[in-house]
Amino acid sequence: AGRVAGKKALVTGAAQGLGAAQARMLCREGAQVLLADINDELATNVANALNEEFGAAHALACHLDVTQPAQWEAAVELARDAFGGLSILVNNAGIGVRGNIETATLDDWHRGFAVNVDSVFLGCQKALGLMKDSQPGSIVNISSIAGLIASDTMPGYNASKAAVWMLSKSVALYCAKMGWDIRCNSVHPTFIDTPILDGMVASTGKAKDVIMDKLARQIPLKRVGHPDDIAYGVLYLASDESRFVTGAELKIDGGISA
C-alpha cells in the first residue's frame, strides 16, 4: 500500500537535506528508492535508517556525481539490476553559486551550471531509456523560487535554476510528443531549513536564529520551510495522482512569490 506503491525511484543528492526527506517520503509511501549522492557514507546511513524504518530492500545507496555522464549510466544500470526498472527520477542535487555579477568567477559560474543544470540534462537523458520501459513515469526537477524571481546577490544561482525550470518544460513536451506516459515537472522551494542554509548563515557571520527570523519575516506564512514541505510536493508529482500534470511548476514557498 502507499501512494507510490511498487514504484522504483532514483533521488539525487539524497544523503541529507531535501533529498533525504524526499527519499524517506517515497519509501514511506511504498517505493523502492536509490539514494544517489557523492557523500557515500551519509547516503548509506540514510538508506540503512530507511530500511530499518520501513523494512528491508526499500532503500539502496549509490555513488553518483551528477555532473559525470558515465556515473549516471552506472546508476541507471544499478536501478535496472536492483529494482528491475525506474519510474521516478528526482533531480534534486544542487549547490549555491558564489558571487554577485562583479565578484563571481567564471569557475564559480561553470561549477554552478555543472551541478545544477548539467545534472538535470544528464539525468533526464540517461534515465529515459529505462523509464520508457517502466511507464508510467515521472521526472521531478528541483529548481527554486530563485529560478523564477531574481536577486542581486545570486546571478549564477538564479540563471542555473531558471535553466532547470525551462529544461523541465522541454522534456515534458518531448515525452508527450513521443507518446510516452512520462511526465516532467519542476518544484520551486523558498528558504528551507537544510544544511545548504547553514552555508548561507555562515557567510553572514551572524547567529543562525537571527538569520532564520529575518528569512521568516519575508515569508507570508511567517516561517522558513521544513524539508517535508517539499517532500509532500515531490510525492504528489511522483505519484499517479498528478497523472494529468506535466510541464508545470509547483511553487512551495509560503506565499513569498504571490
The answer to whether 66 contacts ligand NAD (rule: CB under 6 A) is yes
Whether 157 is catalytic? yes
Considering only the stretches 10-18, 125-133, 166-174, 204-212, report the one whose residues sit in contact with ligand NAD under the rule CB under 6 A.
Answer: 10-18
Choose between 87 and 92: whose C-beta lies nearer to ligand NAD.
92
Sheet holding 59-63, edge to edge: 59-63, 32-37, 8-12, 88-91, 137-142, 182-189, 249-252
Q: Which residue is nearest to ligand NAD (CB)?
A: 94
DSSP string of the chain, one letter each residue: --TTTT-EEEEETTTSHHHHHHHHHHHHTT-EEEEEES-HHHHHHHHHHHHHHH-TTSEEEEE--TT-HHHHHHHHHHHHHHHS---EEEE---------TTT--HHHHHHHHIIIIIHHHHHHHHHHHHHHTT-SEEEEEE--GGGTS--TT-HHHHHHHHHHHHHHHHHHHHHHHTT--EEEEEEEE--B-SHHHHHHHHHHTS-HHHHHHHHHHHSTTSSPBPHHHHHHHHHHHHSGGGTT--S-EEEESTTTT-
Closest separation in Å from C-beta 95 to ligand NAD: 6
> Going residue by residue from 169 to 198, which x/- string records binding to ligand NAD, judged by CB under 6 A?
--------------------x-xx-xxxx-
| 95 near ligand NAD, rule: CB under 6 A | yes
Which parts of 210-249 interact with ligand NAD (CB under 6 A)?
none
Closer by beta carbon to ligand NAD, 135 or else 151: 151
Q: Does 37 sit near ligand NAD (CB under 6 A)?
A: yes
The answer to the question of residue 142 lying near ligand NAD (CB under 6 A) is: yes
Q: Give yes or no for residue 22 binding ligand NAD (CB under 6 A).
A: no
Q: How far is the CB of 194 from ligand NAD (least distance, A)?
A: 3
Candidates 35, 91, 96; CA nearest to 66 is 91
CB of 157 to ligand NAD, least distance (A): 7
Nearest approach, Cβ of residue 143 and ligand NAD (Å): 7
Closest CB 142 distance from ligand NAD, rounded Å: 4
The 39-58 site mask, x for binding ligand NAD (CB under 6 A), equals x-------------------
- HSE, CB side, 13 Å, CA atoms: give it for residue 113: 11
Can residue 79 be called a binding residue for ligand NAD (CB under 6 A)? Answer: no
- Indicate the residue among 94 and 137 with the shorter CB distance to ligand NAD: 94
Q: CA-to-CA distance for 194 and 199, rounded, in angstroms?
A: 10
State the catalytic residues.
Answer: 157
The residues that touch ligand NAD, with contacts defined as CB under 6 A, are 12-13, 15-19, 37-39, 64-67, 92-95, 115, 142, 144, 189, 191-192, 194-197
